[in-house]
Amino acid sequence: MTGPIYNRVALIGLGLIASSMAHAMKKWGLAGSIAGYARTTETRAAALEIGFCDAVFDTAAAAVEGADLVVLAVPVGAMSAVAAEIGPHLKPGATVTDVGSVKQAVVEAVAPHIPEGVDFVPGHPLAGTEHSGPHSGFATLFQNRWHILVPGSARPEAVARLRALWEAMGANVDEMDAAHHDLVLAVTSHTPHLIAYTMVGVADHLSRITESEVIKYSAAGFRDFTRIAASDPTMWRDVFLTNKEATLDILGRFTEELFVLQRAIRMGDGQLLFDYFTRTRAIRRGIIEAGQDTAAPDFGRTKPDKG
Protein backbone atom coordinates (compact mmCIF):
# COMPACT_ATOMS: atom_id res chain seq x y z
CA MET A 1 0.00 0.00 0.00
CA THR A 2 1.57 3.27 -1.14
CA GLY A 3 -0.78 5.55 0.77
CA PRO A 4 -4.36 6.11 1.89
CA ILE A 5 -7.13 4.98 -0.45
CA TYR A 6 -9.28 7.89 0.79
CA ASN A 7 -7.90 11.12 2.25
CA ARG A 8 -10.90 11.75 4.50
CA VAL A 9 -13.53 9.20 5.60
CA ALA A 10 -16.71 10.09 7.49
CA LEU A 11 -18.43 7.40 9.54
CA ILE A 12 -22.08 8.14 10.28
CA GLY A 13 -22.92 5.86 13.17
CA LEU A 14 -20.14 4.44 15.35
CA GLY A 15 -21.18 0.91 16.31
CA LEU A 16 -19.55 -2.46 15.66
CA ILE A 17 -19.13 -2.19 11.89
CA ALA A 18 -18.05 1.47 11.72
CA SER A 19 -15.62 1.17 14.61
CA SER A 20 -14.15 -2.01 13.08
CA MET A 21 -13.73 -0.19 9.75
CA ALA A 22 -11.96 2.64 11.57
CA HIS A 23 -9.62 0.28 13.42
CA ALA A 24 -8.82 -1.52 10.15
CA MET A 25 -8.24 1.72 8.21
CA LYS A 26 -5.91 2.98 10.92
CA LYS A 27 -4.07 -0.33 11.24
CA TRP A 28 -3.30 -0.52 7.52
CA GLY A 29 -3.08 3.22 6.72
CA LEU A 30 -6.10 3.26 4.40
CA ALA A 31 -7.47 6.70 5.34
CA GLY A 32 -5.75 10.04 5.85
CA SER A 33 -8.21 11.04 8.56
CA ILE A 34 -11.43 9.63 9.98
CA ALA A 35 -14.35 11.79 11.09
CA GLY A 36 -17.30 10.39 12.98
CA TYR A 37 -20.85 11.16 14.04
CA ALA A 38 -23.09 9.33 16.50
CA ARG A 39 -26.47 10.22 17.88
CA THR A 40 -25.54 10.07 21.57
CA THR A 41 -22.92 12.06 23.45
CA GLU A 42 -21.80 8.84 25.18
CA THR A 43 -20.94 7.14 21.88
CA ARG A 44 -19.18 10.23 20.54
CA ALA A 45 -17.09 10.45 23.71
CA ALA A 46 -16.26 6.74 23.53
CA ALA A 47 -15.04 7.06 19.92
CA LEU A 48 -12.64 9.84 20.92
CA GLU A 49 -11.50 8.01 24.05
CA ILE A 50 -10.82 4.77 22.16
CA GLY A 51 -9.16 6.80 19.42
CA PHE A 52 -10.54 5.25 16.24
CA CYS A 53 -11.81 8.66 15.06
CA ASP A 54 -9.60 11.70 14.60
CA ALA A 55 -12.55 14.06 15.02
CA VAL A 56 -16.14 13.55 16.17
CA PHE A 57 -19.05 15.87 15.37
CA ASP A 58 -22.48 16.33 16.90
CA THR A 59 -24.24 16.50 13.52
CA ALA A 60 -23.95 14.21 10.50
CA ALA A 61 -23.84 17.25 8.20
CA ALA A 62 -20.69 18.57 9.90
CA ALA A 63 -19.01 15.14 9.86
CA VAL A 64 -19.30 14.72 6.06
CA GLU A 65 -17.80 18.12 5.14
CA GLY A 66 -14.84 17.49 2.83
CA ALA A 67 -15.13 13.69 3.07
CA ASP A 68 -14.06 11.57 0.09
CA LEU A 69 -15.94 8.55 1.46
CA VAL A 70 -19.07 8.65 3.62
CA VAL A 71 -20.19 5.42 5.30
CA LEU A 72 -23.79 5.24 6.54
CA ALA A 73 -23.65 2.84 9.48
CA VAL A 74 -27.03 3.60 11.02
CA PRO A 75 -30.14 1.37 11.27
CA VAL A 76 -31.93 0.95 7.94
CA GLY A 77 -34.95 2.82 9.31
CA ALA A 78 -32.80 5.91 9.93
CA MET A 79 -31.13 5.97 6.48
CA SER A 80 -33.57 8.33 4.77
CA ALA A 81 -33.38 11.06 7.42
CA VAL A 82 -29.58 10.89 7.60
CA ALA A 83 -29.23 10.98 3.80
CA ALA A 84 -31.52 14.02 3.63
CA GLU A 85 -29.38 15.80 6.23
CA ILE A 86 -26.00 15.11 4.62
CA GLY A 87 -27.02 15.47 0.94
CA PRO A 88 -26.41 19.23 0.61
CA HIS A 89 -23.04 18.93 2.39
CA LEU A 90 -21.46 16.16 0.30
CA LYS A 91 -18.26 17.00 -1.56
CA PRO A 92 -18.43 16.73 -5.37
CA GLY A 93 -16.71 13.53 -6.45
CA ALA A 94 -17.28 11.84 -3.08
CA THR A 95 -18.60 8.31 -2.66
CA VAL A 96 -21.40 7.38 -0.28
CA THR A 97 -21.82 3.79 0.84
CA ASP A 98 -23.66 1.99 3.62
CA VAL A 99 -23.37 -1.22 5.64
CA GLY A 100 -27.07 -2.10 5.95
CA SER A 101 -28.31 -5.69 5.92
CA VAL A 102 -30.91 -4.98 3.22
CA LYS A 103 -30.25 -3.17 -0.02
CA GLN A 104 -33.42 -2.40 -1.97
CA ALA A 105 -34.91 -0.39 0.90
CA VAL A 106 -31.61 1.46 1.39
CA VAL A 107 -31.45 2.38 -2.30
CA GLU A 108 -35.01 3.73 -2.13
CA ALA A 109 -34.27 5.67 1.08
CA VAL A 110 -30.88 7.14 0.21
CA ALA A 111 -30.59 7.55 -3.57
CA PRO A 112 -33.08 10.46 -3.87
CA HIS A 113 -30.90 12.55 -1.53
CA ILE A 114 -27.57 11.97 -3.30
CA PRO A 115 -26.66 15.03 -5.41
CA GLU A 116 -25.32 14.97 -8.97
CA GLY A 117 -21.58 14.34 -9.01
CA VAL A 118 -21.61 12.06 -5.94
CA ASP A 119 -21.47 8.26 -6.33
CA PHE A 120 -23.74 6.05 -4.23
CA VAL A 121 -22.49 2.47 -3.89
CA PRO A 122 -24.58 0.50 -1.38
CA GLY A 123 -22.72 -2.23 0.46
CA HIS A 124 -23.14 -4.97 3.03
CA PRO A 125 -20.31 -6.60 5.03
CA LEU A 126 -21.28 -10.17 5.93
CA ALA A 127 -19.43 -9.98 9.20
CA GLY A 128 -20.43 -9.28 12.76
CA THR A 129 -20.73 -10.49 16.31
CA GLU A 130 -23.56 -10.42 18.83
CA HIS A 131 -21.97 -7.32 20.37
CA SER A 132 -22.72 -3.72 19.41
CA GLY A 133 -21.52 -0.23 20.23
CA PRO A 134 -18.20 1.62 19.80
CA HIS A 135 -16.29 -0.65 22.21
CA SER A 136 -17.11 -3.78 20.19
CA GLY A 137 -15.07 -3.03 17.05
CA PHE A 138 -11.77 -4.66 16.08
CA ALA A 139 -9.54 -4.37 13.01
CA THR A 140 -9.73 -7.98 11.82
CA LEU A 141 -13.54 -8.31 11.79
CA PHE A 142 -13.66 -8.42 7.97
CA GLN A 143 -10.80 -10.84 7.38
CA ASN A 144 -11.90 -13.54 4.89
CA ARG A 145 -15.52 -12.40 5.14
CA TRP A 146 -17.60 -11.35 2.15
CA HIS A 147 -18.58 -7.80 1.38
CA ILE A 148 -21.31 -7.26 -1.21
CA LEU A 149 -21.42 -4.11 -3.33
CA VAL A 150 -24.44 -2.91 -5.33
CA PRO A 151 -22.85 -0.68 -8.01
CA GLY A 152 -26.09 0.58 -9.58
CA SER A 153 -25.31 3.61 -11.73
CA ALA A 154 -22.11 4.59 -9.89
CA ARG A 155 -18.98 5.31 -11.90
CA PRO A 156 -16.78 2.19 -12.34
CA GLU A 157 -13.78 4.01 -10.86
CA ALA A 158 -15.75 4.83 -7.69
CA VAL A 159 -16.80 1.18 -7.34
CA ALA A 160 -13.22 -0.01 -7.94
CA ARG A 161 -11.87 2.36 -5.28
CA LEU A 162 -14.41 1.20 -2.70
CA ARG A 163 -13.69 -2.42 -3.60
CA ALA A 164 -9.98 -1.74 -3.04
CA LEU A 165 -10.72 -0.39 0.45
CA TRP A 166 -12.70 -3.47 1.49
CA GLU A 167 -10.11 -5.82 0.05
CA ALA A 168 -7.38 -3.93 1.92
CA MET A 169 -9.39 -4.51 5.13
CA GLY A 170 -9.28 -8.25 4.39
CA ALA A 171 -12.70 -8.82 2.83
CA ASN A 172 -13.64 -10.79 -0.28
CA VAL A 173 -15.78 -8.54 -2.47
CA ASP A 174 -18.67 -9.55 -4.73
CA GLU A 175 -21.21 -7.49 -6.68
CA MET A 176 -24.93 -8.09 -7.23
CA ASP A 177 -28.13 -6.14 -7.71
CA ALA A 178 -30.20 -5.05 -4.72
CA ALA A 179 -33.14 -7.44 -5.20
CA HIS A 180 -30.90 -10.49 -5.55
CA HIS A 181 -28.91 -9.46 -2.47
CA ASP A 182 -32.09 -9.24 -0.41
CA LEU A 183 -33.22 -12.73 -1.51
CA VAL A 184 -29.81 -14.29 -0.82
CA LEU A 185 -29.64 -12.69 2.63
CA ALA A 186 -33.20 -13.75 3.44
CA VAL A 187 -31.92 -17.34 3.10
CA THR A 188 -28.51 -17.01 4.71
CA SER A 189 -29.17 -14.49 7.48
CA HIS A 190 -32.59 -12.92 7.91
CA THR A 191 -34.81 -16.00 8.20
CA PRO A 192 -32.27 -17.90 10.37
CA HIS A 193 -32.24 -14.93 12.73
CA LEU A 194 -36.04 -14.94 12.88
CA ILE A 195 -36.04 -18.68 13.64
CA ALA A 196 -33.43 -18.15 16.37
CA TYR A 197 -35.49 -15.36 17.96
CA THR A 198 -38.54 -17.62 17.79
CA MET A 199 -36.84 -20.62 19.41
CA VAL A 200 -35.49 -18.51 22.25
CA GLY A 201 -38.98 -17.05 22.65
CA VAL A 202 -40.47 -20.57 22.80
CA ALA A 203 -38.09 -21.50 25.61
CA ASP A 204 -38.98 -18.28 27.43
CA HIS A 205 -42.69 -19.11 27.29
CA LEU A 206 -42.46 -22.83 28.10
CA SER A 207 -43.36 -22.97 31.77
CA ARG A 208 -42.40 -26.64 32.18
CA ILE A 209 -38.73 -25.78 31.60
CA THR A 210 -37.20 -23.40 34.11
CA GLU A 211 -34.92 -20.54 33.11
CA SER A 212 -32.08 -22.15 35.10
CA GLU A 213 -32.45 -25.36 33.06
CA VAL A 214 -32.39 -23.42 29.79
CA ILE A 215 -29.15 -21.74 30.84
CA LYS A 216 -27.60 -24.84 32.44
CA TYR A 217 -28.16 -27.20 29.51
CA SER A 218 -27.65 -24.77 26.64
CA ALA A 219 -24.50 -26.52 25.39
CA ALA A 220 -26.84 -28.21 22.93
CA GLY A 221 -27.97 -26.31 19.81
CA PHE A 222 -29.97 -23.80 21.84
CA ARG A 223 -26.79 -21.97 22.88
CA ASP A 224 -26.07 -21.00 19.28
CA PHE A 225 -29.65 -19.76 18.85
CA THR A 226 -29.11 -17.45 21.84
CA ARG A 227 -25.92 -16.03 20.29
CA ILE A 228 -27.84 -15.09 17.15
CA ALA A 229 -30.85 -13.85 19.11
CA ALA A 230 -28.62 -11.51 21.14
CA SER A 231 -28.04 -9.33 18.06
CA ASP A 232 -29.02 -5.66 18.02
CA PRO A 233 -32.84 -5.45 18.24
CA THR A 234 -33.17 -2.12 16.41
CA MET A 235 -31.19 -3.37 13.44
CA TRP A 236 -33.17 -6.61 13.16
CA ARG A 237 -36.53 -4.91 13.56
CA ASP A 238 -35.63 -2.70 10.59
CA VAL A 239 -34.32 -5.66 8.56
CA PHE A 240 -37.60 -7.54 8.78
CA LEU A 241 -39.73 -4.48 8.10
CA THR A 242 -37.67 -3.48 5.05
CA ASN A 243 -36.97 -6.92 3.56
CA LYS A 244 -40.52 -8.09 4.09
CA GLU A 245 -41.23 -9.82 0.75
CA ALA A 246 -38.06 -11.90 0.54
CA THR A 247 -38.19 -12.89 4.21
CA LEU A 248 -41.84 -13.95 3.99
CA ASP A 249 -41.06 -15.94 0.83
CA ILE A 250 -38.23 -17.87 2.51
CA LEU A 251 -40.20 -18.22 5.75
CA GLY A 252 -43.05 -19.79 3.76
CA ARG A 253 -40.63 -22.24 2.18
CA PHE A 254 -39.16 -23.01 5.61
CA THR A 255 -42.65 -23.74 6.94
CA GLU A 256 -43.28 -26.17 4.06
CA GLU A 257 -40.00 -27.99 4.77
CA LEU A 258 -40.88 -28.12 8.46
CA PHE A 259 -44.20 -29.80 7.64
CA VAL A 260 -42.33 -32.42 5.56
CA LEU A 261 -40.07 -33.24 8.51
CA GLN A 262 -42.97 -33.10 10.96
CA ARG A 263 -44.86 -35.71 8.90
CA ALA A 264 -41.75 -37.91 8.54
CA ILE A 265 -41.29 -37.95 12.32
CA ARG A 266 -44.97 -38.69 12.90
CA MET A 267 -44.98 -41.52 10.30
CA GLY A 268 -41.65 -42.94 11.44
CA ASP A 269 -40.07 -42.34 8.01
CA GLY A 270 -36.43 -42.77 9.04
CA GLN A 271 -35.16 -42.96 5.45
CA LEU A 272 -36.56 -39.53 4.56
CA LEU A 273 -35.01 -38.03 7.69
CA PHE A 274 -31.63 -39.69 7.02
CA ASP A 275 -31.55 -38.53 3.39
CA TYR A 276 -32.61 -35.00 4.33
CA PHE A 277 -29.96 -34.66 7.03
CA THR A 278 -27.30 -36.09 4.70
CA ARG A 279 -28.02 -33.34 2.14
CA THR A 280 -27.96 -30.56 4.74
CA ARG A 281 -24.75 -31.92 6.24
CA ALA A 282 -23.06 -31.46 2.86
CA ILE A 283 -23.89 -27.73 2.97
CA ARG A 284 -22.14 -27.47 6.35
CA ARG A 285 -19.04 -29.13 4.88
CA GLY A 286 -19.11 -26.66 1.99
CA ILE A 287 -19.15 -23.70 4.39
CA ILE A 288 -16.12 -25.07 6.25
CA GLU A 289 -14.25 -25.81 2.99
CA ALA A 290 -14.94 -22.21 1.85
CA GLY A 291 -13.20 -20.94 4.98
CA GLN A 292 -16.36 -19.34 6.39
CA ASP A 293 -16.32 -21.38 9.61
CA THR A 294 -14.19 -23.90 11.47
CA ALA A 295 -14.55 -27.63 11.98
CA ALA A 296 -12.70 -27.34 15.31
CA PRO A 297 -14.36 -28.94 18.33
CA ASP A 298 -16.96 -26.76 20.07
CA PHE A 299 -17.16 -24.52 16.96
CA GLY A 300 -13.64 -23.26 17.64
CA ARG A 301 -14.61 -21.60 20.90
CA THR A 302 -11.68 -21.17 23.27
CA LYS A 303 -12.10 -22.40 26.80
CA PRO A 304 -11.86 -19.69 29.50
CA ASP A 305 -8.58 -19.56 31.36
CA LYS A 306 -9.20 -20.99 34.83
CA GLY A 307 -5.74 -19.98 36.06
Residues 15 and 107 in one domain: yes
In a domain, 75, yes or no: yes
Stronger pLDDT, 105 or 211, i.e. the higher one: 105
Of 176, 202, 233, at which residue does a domain stop?
176
Domain match, 146 and 222 both = no
pLDDT of residue 202: 80
pLDDT in tens, 242-294: 888 888 998 899 999 999 999 999 999 999 999 998 988 888 888 778 777 76
Which region, left, alpha or beta, applies to residue 196 given φ > 0 means left and ψ of -120 to 50 means alpha? alpha
Which pLDDT band holds residue 214 (cuts at 50, 70, 90)?
confident
Q: How confident is the model at residue 298 (pLDDT cuts 50, 70, 90)?
A: low
What is the CATH number for 59?
Answer: 3.40.50.720
Task: For 35-57, write each residue's pLDDT tens digit.
Answer: 999 999 999 999 999 999 999 99
In the chain, beta strands by DSSP E? 6-12, 31-37, 55-57, 69-72, 95-98, 119-120, 123-125, 146-149, 172-175
**CA dihedral defined by 171, 175, 180, 182, rounded to 10 degrees?**
40
Domain range for 33: 6-176
Please check whether residues 188 and 239 belong to one and the same domain.
yes
Same domain, 90 and 217: no
pLDDT at position 111 is 97
| Residue 306 in domain | no
Helix (H, G, I), strand (E, B) or coil at 130: coil
Residues 6+ apart with CB under 8 A from 42: none
* Beta partners for residue 147, in sequence order: 125, 173
Residues 222 and 112 in one domain: no
Cα pseudo-dihedral 153, 158, 160, 165, rounded to 10: -130
User: Mean pLDDT of all residues in the chain?
Assistant: 89
Is residue 300 in a domain?
no
Q: What is the pLDDT at residue 222?
A: 78
The model's confidence at residue 120, banded by pLDDT at 50, 70 and 90, is very high
CA-CA distance, 250 to 190, in Å (whole number)? 9
Which among 176, 193, 224 is the end of a domain? 176
